[in-house]
């Protein structure tokens, strides 16, 4: 889908242009570290020089034209004044389109400037550069060879991917019977937890405009992973997009912060670039359901980090109560998003696969998203600043269903219901 850049001309810059001017090498290094093209920084600065030269020229010509209009108001202009007016009009006719073109190119280029990673983010090209911070929980100690979730769930007639593929294509699935009920139980359990932590629950739009993806940092990177509609909108891949954009164009008050939102939604991703990966089971699919937490904080990175850690803790609390072993992973520069400043992943232990697999992502952006969305707040001292934004997965299905199936299986091929979910499901075993 072609990106309609012109509708973004009036959006604020993604990084402060003054910061980019003064720290060009830092921003170029950020692009290199994130496996992006650093030349875009030099190209942006060339355009910035051009616009800074053209803006005063155009403003001076406009002022001269306005002064001349006031000078001749109410009388017939002299031949010299007519000649001067024509000359000013011609100069503006040539320079104004040029300035508009440069401004548009400048704004377009700004969208390709990545956020600068925090200093303690490890440098790495891909997932091999990620660092395990800690491991939590006890792995199940089986006296048998555990099955993978897809085999186990198919045998119990709780999962059907064969018929789903016939109807909807690859990476599709049916959840059946108790597995569908277990999914509902998980989301009710997790949503109750987040409401108890003071988050406002949201049901969000599933189709949003292109600018919502662009302004939350999913564009220009990652736009190919979106399912686009015929109406210049796209299906969301996470509730982060509409929730982060919720207060776009608004000026909040410092006493309103932090704003804590949690959204439950279906999510849709094309999974471009994942050909041949995780083709079995329900780990990597085109549509899934996710509970996502989003927080706006004041423009203070330490306060943002504190909230980032709290939000990680909310997700960990749920995993602990579900009795799942997991590890927290600090993402390296090459495996984090272009807009993210700092990111953790949580990876849950999958005994059937004998490895940890990613189930959660926890990121903060400082003002990167807020500048695009123009979300600001009036501080107590009267100044107006951009909010800082954070998001984190609370729980996502069907990955968490796969994890529960593999961790709670029995030697007889049954699946126990985690104690935390029994009040919601009123069963001891799935399919029983």
Q: Which residues are catalytic?
A: 269, 284, 358, 361, 399
Cα 233-104-50 angle, rounded to 5 deg? 160
> In this structure, what DSSP letter does residue 418 have?
P
**Cα–Cα distance for residue pair 129/121, rounded to 1 Å:** 10
Helix or strand run (H / E) with residue 234: strand 233-235
Nearest C-alpha neighbor of 400 from the set 238, 196, 179 = 179
Q: Side-chain half-sphere of 428: how many Cα atoms within 13 Å? A: 1
> In this structure, what DSSP letter does residue 222 have?
T
Do residues 358 and 347 lie in contact, with contact meaning Cβ atoms separated by under 8 Å? yes
Do residues 267 and 288 lie in contact, with contact meaning Cβ atoms separated by under 8 Å? yes
Alpha-carbon distances, residue 154 vs 149, 151, 162 (angstroms): 8, 5, 10
Helix or strand run (H / E) with residue 131: strand 131-136
- Mapping DSSP to helix (H, G, I), strand (E, B) and coil, where does residue 337 land? coil
Do residues 287 and 391 lie in contact, with contact meaning Cβ atoms separated by under 8 Å? no
**Cα–Cα distance for residue pair 174/285, rounded to 1 Å:** 11
Tokens found for residue 400: 């968490």
Do residues 342 and 117 lie in contact, with contact meaning Cβ atoms separated by under 8 Å? yes
How many residues are listed for the chain in this entry? 432
**Cα–Cα distance for residue pair 37/15, rounded to 1 Å:** 16
């Amino acid at each position: 889908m072609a990106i309609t850049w012109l509708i973004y001309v009036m959006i604020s810059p993604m990084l402060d242009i003054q910061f980019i001017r003064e720290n060009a090498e830092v921003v170029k290094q950020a692009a290199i570290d994130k496996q992006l093209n650093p030349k875009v920084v030099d190209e942006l600065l060339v355009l910035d020089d051009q616009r800074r030269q053209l803006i005063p020229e155009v403003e001076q010509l406009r002022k001269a034209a306005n002064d001349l209009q006031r000078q001749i108001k109410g009388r017939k202009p002299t031949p010299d004044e007519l000649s001067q007016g024509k000359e000013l009009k011609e100069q503006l006719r040539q320079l104004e389109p040029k300035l508009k073109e440069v401004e548009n190119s400048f704004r377009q280029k700004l969208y390709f400037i990545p956020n600068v990673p925090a200093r303690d983010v490890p440098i790495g090209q891909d997932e091999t550069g990620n660092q395990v911070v800690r491991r939590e929980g006890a792995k199940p100690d089986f006296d048998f060879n555990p099955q993978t979730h897809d085999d186990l769930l198919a045998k119990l007639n709780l999962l059907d991917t064969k018929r789903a593929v016939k109807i909807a294509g690859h990476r599709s699935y049916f959840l059946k019977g108790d597995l569908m009920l277990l999914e509902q139980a998980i989301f009710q359990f997790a949503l109750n937890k987040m409401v108890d932590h003071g988050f406002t629950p949201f049901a969000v739009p599933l189709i949003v405009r292109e600018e919502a993806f662009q302004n939350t940092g999913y564009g220009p990177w990652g736009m190919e992973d979106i399912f686009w509609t015929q109406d210049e909108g796209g299906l969301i891949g996470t509730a982060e997009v509409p929730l982060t954009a919720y207060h776009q164009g608004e000026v909040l008050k410092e006493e309103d912060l932090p704003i804590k939102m949690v959204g439950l939604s279906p999510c849709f991703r094309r999974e471009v670039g994942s050909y041949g990966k995780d083709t079995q089971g329900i780990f990597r699919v085109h549509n899934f359901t996710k509970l996502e937490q989003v927080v706006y904080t004041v423009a203070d990175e330490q306060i943002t980090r504190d909230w980032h850690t709290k939000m990680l803790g909310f997700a960990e609390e749920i995993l602990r109560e579900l009795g799942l072993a997991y590890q927290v992973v600090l993402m390296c520069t090459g495996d984090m998003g272009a807009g993210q400043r700092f990111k953790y992943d949580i990876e849950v232990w999958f005994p059937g696969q004998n490895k940890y697999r990613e189930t959660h992502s926890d990121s903060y952006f400082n003002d990167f998203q807020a500048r695009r969305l123009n979300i600001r707040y009036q501080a107590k001292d009267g100044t107006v600043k951009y909010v800082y934004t954070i998001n984190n997965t609370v729980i996502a299905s069907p990955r968490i269903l796969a994890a529960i199936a593999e961790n709670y299986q029995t030697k007889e091929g049954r699946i126990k219901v985690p104690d935390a979910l029994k009040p919601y499901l009123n069963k001891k075993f799935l399919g029983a």
